[in-house]
Amino acid sequence: MEYRLLGRTGVKVSPLCLGAMMFGPWGNNDHADAIRIIHRALDAGINFIDTADVYSGGTSEEIVGKAIEGRRDDVFLATKFFMPMNPDDPNQSGGSRRWIIREVENSLRRLNTEYIDLYQVHRPSPDTDVEETLGALTDLVRQGKVRYIGSSSYSGSQIVEAQWAARERNLERFVTEQPPYSILARGIEEDVLPTVQRHGMGTLSYSPLAGGWLSGRWRKDSVSSPTSSARPSARFDMTRFANQRKLDLVEDLAQLAEESGLSLIELAIAFVINHPGITSAIVGPRTMAQLESYLPAASVALTADVLDRIDEIVEPGVTVNPDDNSYGAHELTPRARRRR
Protein backbone atom coordinates (compact mmCIF):
# COMPACT_ATOMS: atom_id res chain seq x y z
CA MET A 1 0.00 0.00 0.00
CA GLU A 2 1.34 3.42 -0.95
CA TYR A 3 1.30 5.96 1.87
CA ARG A 4 0.53 9.64 1.59
CA LEU A 5 1.69 12.74 3.39
CA LEU A 6 -0.85 14.07 5.86
CA GLY A 7 -0.89 17.71 4.85
CA ARG A 8 2.43 19.28 5.84
CA THR A 9 2.91 17.29 9.03
CA GLY A 10 5.48 14.93 7.54
CA VAL A 11 3.40 11.97 8.74
CA LYS A 12 2.53 9.32 6.16
CA VAL A 13 -0.82 7.54 6.30
CA SER A 14 -2.63 4.96 4.21
CA PRO A 15 -5.14 6.08 1.54
CA LEU A 16 -7.79 4.11 3.42
CA CYS A 17 -8.51 5.02 7.02
CA LEU A 18 -10.35 2.49 9.16
CA GLY A 19 -13.43 4.16 10.59
CA ALA A 20 -14.58 2.59 13.86
CA MET A 21 -18.11 3.98 14.10
CA MET A 22 -19.66 0.54 13.54
CA PHE A 23 -17.74 -1.16 16.36
CA GLY A 24 -20.00 -1.47 19.39
CA PRO A 25 -23.80 -1.42 19.87
CA TRP A 26 -24.29 0.94 16.91
CA GLY A 27 -23.13 -1.82 14.56
CA ASN A 28 -21.06 -4.89 15.46
CA ASN A 29 -21.25 -5.50 19.20
CA ASP A 30 -19.15 -8.65 19.01
CA HIS A 31 -15.96 -7.18 20.44
CA ALA A 32 -13.79 -10.13 19.45
CA ASP A 33 -15.00 -9.94 15.85
CA ALA A 34 -14.48 -6.17 15.74
CA ILE A 35 -10.92 -6.64 16.97
CA ARG A 36 -10.31 -9.24 14.25
CA ILE A 37 -11.52 -6.73 11.66
CA ILE A 38 -9.14 -4.09 13.01
CA HIS A 39 -6.23 -6.54 12.98
CA ARG A 40 -7.02 -7.52 9.39
CA ALA A 41 -6.99 -3.87 8.37
CA LEU A 42 -3.63 -3.31 10.05
CA ASP A 43 -2.20 -6.45 8.46
CA ALA A 44 -3.39 -5.19 5.06
CA GLY A 45 -1.33 -2.03 5.47
CA ILE A 46 -3.88 0.41 6.88
CA ASN A 47 -2.03 2.42 9.53
CA PHE A 48 -4.75 4.98 10.21
CA ILE A 49 -7.77 4.49 12.54
CA ASP A 50 -10.48 7.07 13.17
CA THR A 51 -13.06 6.88 15.95
CA ALA A 52 -14.94 9.26 18.26
CA ASP A 53 -16.00 9.46 21.88
CA VAL A 54 -19.69 9.43 20.96
CA TYR A 55 -19.58 6.24 18.88
CA SER A 56 -21.60 3.71 20.88
CA GLY A 57 -21.13 5.94 23.93
CA GLY A 58 -17.39 5.27 24.13
CA THR A 59 -17.48 1.54 23.36
CA SER A 60 -15.88 2.07 19.97
CA GLU A 61 -12.86 3.72 21.59
CA GLU A 62 -12.59 0.86 24.07
CA ILE A 63 -12.61 -1.74 21.28
CA VAL A 64 -9.97 0.17 19.32
CA GLY A 65 -7.84 0.46 22.46
CA LYS A 66 -7.92 -3.30 22.97
CA ALA A 67 -7.21 -4.00 19.30
CA ILE A 68 -4.08 -1.85 19.06
CA GLU A 69 -2.54 -3.07 22.32
CA GLY A 70 1.01 -4.06 21.47
CA ARG A 71 0.76 -2.30 18.09
CA ARG A 72 0.25 1.28 19.24
CA ASP A 73 3.41 2.63 17.63
CA ASP A 74 2.29 1.30 14.24
CA VAL A 75 -1.02 3.16 14.29
CA PHE A 76 -1.84 6.79 13.59
CA LEU A 77 -4.79 7.09 15.96
CA ALA A 78 -7.50 9.71 15.53
CA THR A 79 -10.55 10.40 17.64
CA LYS A 80 -13.06 13.21 18.01
CA PHE A 81 -14.97 15.16 20.65
CA PHE A 82 -17.93 17.56 20.62
CA MET A 83 -21.13 15.48 20.44
CA PRO A 84 -23.23 15.14 23.63
CA MET A 85 -22.02 12.36 25.93
CA ASN A 86 -24.70 12.88 28.58
CA PRO A 87 -28.10 14.28 27.57
CA ASP A 88 -28.75 15.31 31.18
CA ASP A 89 -25.66 17.52 31.38
CA PRO A 90 -25.46 20.34 28.81
CA ASN A 91 -21.76 20.85 29.55
CA GLN A 92 -20.72 17.35 28.50
CA SER A 93 -20.45 18.36 24.86
CA GLY A 94 -19.19 21.13 22.63
CA GLY A 95 -15.88 22.89 22.11
CA SER A 96 -15.40 24.63 25.43
CA ARG A 97 -12.11 24.42 27.33
CA ARG A 98 -14.02 22.96 30.27
CA TRP A 99 -15.26 20.00 28.24
CA ILE A 100 -12.18 19.42 26.09
CA ILE A 101 -9.81 19.17 29.07
CA ARG A 102 -12.16 16.71 30.75
CA GLU A 103 -13.11 14.60 27.75
CA VAL A 104 -9.60 14.05 26.44
CA GLU A 105 -8.84 12.17 29.66
CA ASN A 106 -11.87 9.96 29.09
CA SER A 107 -10.78 9.17 25.54
CA LEU A 108 -7.21 8.45 26.62
CA ARG A 109 -8.52 6.03 29.23
CA ARG A 110 -10.90 4.27 26.84
CA LEU A 111 -8.24 4.02 24.14
CA ASN A 112 -5.70 2.80 26.70
CA THR A 113 -3.04 5.13 25.35
CA GLU A 114 -0.88 7.97 26.63
CA TYR A 115 -1.43 10.16 23.58
CA ILE A 116 -3.79 10.74 20.68
CA ASP A 117 -2.20 11.34 17.29
CA LEU A 118 -5.05 13.44 15.89
CA TYR A 119 -7.70 15.02 18.11
CA GLN A 120 -10.58 16.46 16.08
CA VAL A 121 -13.52 18.76 16.73
CA HIS A 122 -16.47 16.69 15.51
CA ARG A 123 -18.51 19.74 14.48
CA PRO A 124 -18.08 23.53 14.57
CA SER A 125 -20.04 25.46 17.17
CA PRO A 126 -21.67 28.84 16.46
CA ASP A 127 -21.82 29.44 20.20
CA THR A 128 -18.12 28.93 21.01
CA ASP A 129 -15.23 31.20 20.07
CA VAL A 130 -12.81 29.22 17.91
CA GLU A 131 -9.96 30.66 20.01
CA GLU A 132 -11.48 28.99 23.08
CA THR A 133 -11.31 25.61 21.36
CA LEU A 134 -7.88 26.15 19.82
CA GLY A 135 -6.47 27.41 23.12
CA ALA A 136 -7.49 24.26 24.99
CA LEU A 137 -6.24 22.01 22.19
CA THR A 138 -2.93 23.89 22.09
CA ASP A 139 -2.43 23.15 25.78
CA LEU A 140 -3.05 19.45 25.14
CA VAL A 141 -0.44 19.43 22.38
CA ARG A 142 2.10 21.14 24.64
CA GLN A 143 1.34 18.63 27.39
CA GLY A 144 2.04 15.74 24.99
CA LYS A 145 -1.46 14.28 25.29
CA VAL A 146 -2.26 15.17 21.67
CA ARG A 147 0.11 15.30 18.69
CA TYR A 148 -2.03 17.11 16.09
CA ILE A 149 -5.47 18.70 15.94
CA GLY A 150 -8.13 18.73 13.24
CA SER A 151 -11.65 19.80 12.36
CA SER A 152 -14.65 17.95 10.93
CA SER A 153 -17.54 19.18 8.77
CA TYR A 154 -16.30 22.78 8.72
CA SER A 155 -17.29 25.12 5.91
CA GLY A 156 -14.62 26.90 3.89
CA SER A 157 -15.10 30.13 5.82
CA GLN A 158 -14.86 28.33 9.17
CA ILE A 159 -11.62 26.67 8.07
CA VAL A 160 -10.16 30.06 7.15
CA GLU A 161 -11.33 31.62 10.42
CA ALA A 162 -9.65 28.85 12.43
CA GLN A 163 -6.40 29.17 10.46
CA TRP A 164 -6.41 32.94 10.95
CA ALA A 165 -7.06 32.67 14.70
CA ALA A 166 -4.26 30.14 15.12
CA ARG A 167 -1.79 32.38 13.31
CA GLU A 168 -2.82 35.59 15.03
CA ARG A 169 -2.86 34.10 18.55
CA ASN A 170 0.13 31.78 18.13
CA LEU A 171 -2.01 28.70 18.71
CA GLU A 172 -1.84 25.22 17.23
CA ARG A 173 -3.62 25.09 13.90
CA PHE A 174 -5.93 22.45 12.48
CA VAL A 175 -3.81 20.27 10.21
CA THR A 176 -6.73 18.23 8.87
CA GLU A 177 -10.36 18.58 7.88
CA GLN A 178 -12.84 15.68 7.80
CA PRO A 179 -15.73 16.35 5.38
CA PRO A 180 -18.29 14.09 3.69
CA TYR A 181 -17.34 13.23 0.11
CA SER A 182 -18.57 10.76 -2.47
CA ILE A 183 -19.70 10.65 -6.09
CA LEU A 184 -23.20 11.53 -4.91
CA ALA A 185 -22.05 14.25 -2.50
CA ARG A 186 -19.49 16.45 -4.26
CA GLY A 187 -20.32 19.73 -2.57
CA ILE A 188 -16.90 20.12 -0.98
CA GLU A 189 -15.30 20.44 -4.41
CA GLU A 190 -16.71 23.96 -4.69
CA ASP A 191 -15.08 25.51 -1.63
CA VAL A 192 -13.90 23.19 1.14
CA LEU A 193 -11.35 21.18 -0.87
CA PRO A 194 -9.68 24.21 -2.50
CA THR A 195 -9.54 25.92 0.90
CA VAL A 196 -7.97 22.90 2.58
CA GLN A 197 -5.43 22.55 -0.20
CA ARG A 198 -4.57 26.25 -0.03
CA HIS A 199 -3.80 25.93 3.68
CA GLY A 200 -1.75 22.75 3.28
CA MET A 201 -4.13 20.63 5.34
CA GLY A 202 -4.82 16.93 5.00
CA THR A 203 -8.34 15.83 4.09
CA LEU A 204 -9.88 12.72 5.64
CA SER A 205 -13.18 12.28 3.86
CA TYR A 206 -15.98 10.23 5.35
CA SER A 207 -18.91 8.37 3.79
CA PRO A 208 -17.27 7.51 0.43
CA LEU A 209 -20.16 5.10 -0.19
CA ALA A 210 -22.70 7.87 0.48
CA GLY A 211 -24.16 6.16 3.51
CA GLY A 212 -24.57 2.87 1.64
CA TRP A 213 -26.07 4.24 -1.59
CA LEU A 214 -22.92 3.23 -3.49
CA SER A 215 -22.50 -0.16 -1.85
CA GLY A 216 -24.72 -1.89 -4.40
CA ARG A 217 -27.18 -2.78 -1.67
CA TRP A 218 -29.92 -0.51 -2.97
CA ARG A 219 -30.77 -0.79 -6.65
CA LYS A 220 -33.94 -0.23 -8.63
CA ASP A 221 -34.63 -3.96 -8.74
CA SER A 222 -33.50 -4.57 -5.15
CA VAL A 223 -35.82 -6.09 -2.56
CA SER A 224 -34.37 -3.95 0.24
CA SER A 225 -35.05 -0.23 0.37
CA PRO A 226 -33.22 2.73 1.90
CA THR A 227 -36.41 3.49 3.83
CA SER A 228 -35.58 0.53 6.08
CA SER A 229 -32.40 2.24 7.24
CA ALA A 230 -32.10 3.69 10.74
CA ARG A 231 -30.17 6.65 9.35
CA PRO A 232 -31.65 10.18 9.16
CA SER A 233 -34.83 10.15 7.09
CA ALA A 234 -33.95 13.19 4.98
CA ARG A 235 -31.10 11.24 3.42
CA PHE A 236 -33.12 8.07 2.81
CA ASP A 237 -36.76 9.13 2.50
CA MET A 238 -37.82 7.73 -0.87
CA THR A 239 -40.67 10.20 -1.20
CA ARG A 240 -38.02 12.83 -1.91
CA PHE A 241 -37.15 13.39 -5.55
CA ALA A 242 -33.43 13.72 -4.78
CA ASN A 243 -33.33 10.23 -3.27
CA GLN A 244 -35.27 8.75 -6.19
CA ARG A 245 -32.73 10.43 -8.45
CA LYS A 246 -29.94 8.64 -6.58
CA LEU A 247 -31.30 5.27 -7.70
CA ASP A 248 -31.06 6.33 -11.35
CA LEU A 249 -27.51 7.56 -10.85
CA VAL A 250 -26.49 4.38 -9.04
CA GLU A 251 -27.62 2.36 -12.08
CA ASP A 252 -25.42 4.48 -14.37
CA LEU A 253 -22.47 4.21 -11.98
CA ALA A 254 -22.90 0.45 -11.60
CA GLN A 255 -22.80 0.08 -15.37
CA LEU A 256 -19.65 2.21 -15.56
CA ALA A 257 -18.02 0.13 -12.83
CA GLU A 258 -18.80 -3.08 -14.70
CA GLU A 259 -17.38 -1.67 -17.92
CA SER A 260 -14.24 -0.68 -16.02
CA GLY A 261 -13.77 -4.12 -14.48
CA LEU A 262 -14.52 -2.87 -10.99
CA SER A 263 -17.17 -3.36 -8.35
CA LEU A 264 -19.37 -0.36 -7.58
CA ILE A 265 -17.68 -0.16 -4.16
CA GLU A 266 -14.22 -0.07 -5.71
CA LEU A 267 -15.26 2.62 -8.18
CA ALA A 268 -16.81 4.75 -5.44
CA ILE A 269 -13.86 4.59 -3.04
CA ALA A 270 -11.27 4.96 -5.80
CA PHE A 271 -13.06 8.09 -7.03
CA VAL A 272 -12.57 9.67 -3.61
CA ILE A 273 -8.93 8.78 -3.05
CA ASN A 274 -8.01 9.66 -6.65
CA HIS A 275 -8.80 13.32 -5.96
CA PRO A 276 -5.50 15.18 -5.37
CA GLY A 277 -7.03 17.04 -2.43
CA ILE A 278 -7.98 13.88 -0.52
CA THR A 279 -5.43 12.29 1.78
CA SER A 280 -7.44 9.33 3.01
CA ALA A 281 -10.98 7.99 2.70
CA ILE A 282 -12.57 6.73 5.90
CA VAL A 283 -14.21 3.33 5.42
CA GLY A 284 -16.36 2.00 8.25
CA PRO A 285 -16.96 -1.74 7.97
CA ARG A 286 -19.36 -3.57 10.23
CA THR A 287 -18.25 -7.02 9.05
CA MET A 288 -15.08 -8.65 7.77
CA ALA A 289 -16.70 -9.15 4.38
CA GLN A 290 -17.32 -5.43 4.09
CA LEU A 291 -13.70 -4.65 4.90
CA GLU A 292 -12.49 -7.14 2.30
CA SER A 293 -14.68 -5.44 -0.32
CA TYR A 294 -13.10 -2.06 0.49
CA LEU A 295 -9.43 -3.02 0.48
CA PRO A 296 -8.89 -3.45 -3.31
CA ALA A 297 -9.87 0.18 -3.91
CA ALA A 298 -6.60 1.34 -2.34
CA SER A 299 -4.71 0.24 -5.46
CA VAL A 300 -7.21 1.36 -8.12
CA ALA A 301 -6.16 4.24 -10.36
CA LEU A 302 -9.07 5.60 -12.39
CA THR A 303 -8.35 6.70 -15.94
CA ALA A 304 -9.23 10.15 -17.22
CA ASP A 305 -11.98 8.61 -19.35
CA VAL A 306 -13.64 7.02 -16.30
CA LEU A 307 -13.37 10.23 -14.30
CA ASP A 308 -14.88 12.19 -17.20
CA ARG A 309 -17.76 9.73 -17.38
CA ILE A 310 -18.38 10.13 -13.64
CA ASP A 311 -18.46 13.90 -14.14
CA GLU A 312 -21.13 13.40 -16.79
CA ILE A 313 -23.24 11.33 -14.39
CA VAL A 314 -22.83 13.69 -11.41
CA GLU A 315 -21.38 17.10 -12.19
CA PRO A 316 -18.41 18.36 -10.15
CA GLY A 317 -19.44 20.31 -7.06
CA VAL A 318 -22.96 18.86 -7.06
CA THR A 319 -24.52 17.07 -4.09
CA VAL A 320 -27.59 15.21 -5.33
CA ASN A 321 -29.36 15.52 -1.99
CA PRO A 322 -28.11 18.62 -0.08
CA ASP A 323 -28.85 16.85 3.22
CA ASP A 324 -25.86 14.61 2.47
CA ASN A 325 -23.43 17.51 2.85
CA SER A 326 -23.67 17.23 6.65
CA TYR A 327 -21.91 20.55 7.13
CA GLY A 328 -21.80 21.91 10.62
CA ALA A 329 -22.28 25.35 9.11
CA HIS A 330 -26.03 25.63 9.31
CA GLU A 331 -25.87 29.16 7.91
CA LEU A 332 -25.12 27.56 4.53
CA THR A 333 -28.40 25.65 4.30
CA PRO A 334 -30.92 26.95 1.73
CA ARG A 335 -33.40 28.01 4.43
CA ALA A 336 -30.77 29.90 6.44
CA ARG A 337 -29.51 31.79 3.40
CA ARG A 338 -32.83 33.59 3.16
CA ARG A 339 -33.76 33.97 6.83
CA ARG A 340 -30.61 34.43 8.88
Per-residue DSSP letters for 323-335? GGG--S-GGGSHH
**How many angstroms separate the CA atoms of 192 and 39, rounded?**
33
Whole-Å CA distances, 124 to 73, 219, 286, 320: 30, 35, 27, 24
**How many angstroms separate the CA atoms of 14 and 297, rounded?**
12
**How many angstroms separate the CA atoms of 257 and 106, rounded?**
43
Cβ 314 vs Cβ 174: under 8 Å: no
For residue 28, the 8-state DSSP code is B
Per-residue DSSP letters for 147-160? EEEEEES--HHHHH
CA-derived radius of gyration, the chain: 19
Q: Where are the beta strands (DSSP E) in the chain?
A: 4-5, 12-13, 16-19, 48-50, 76-81, 116-121, 146-152, 174-178, 202-205, 280-283
Handedness of CA 266, 272, 276, 280 (dihedral sign): negative
Told to judge if 55 belongs to the known catalytic residues of this protein, a careful annotator would answer: yes
Handedness of CA 173, 175, 178, 179 (dihedral sign): positive
Task: Tell how strand 12-13 and strand 16-19 pair up.
Answer: unpaired
**How many angstroms separate the CA atoms of 128 and 56, rounded?**
25
For residue 204, the 8-state DSSP code is E
Please choose, from the candidates 325, 307, 328, 297, the residue with its C-alpha nearest in 3D space to the C-alpha of residue 184: 325
Alpha helices in 153-218 (DSSP H): 156-169, 192-198
Please pick, among 3, 55, 119, 327, the residue that the annotation labels catalytic.
55
Residue type, 316: P
- The residues that are catalytic are 55
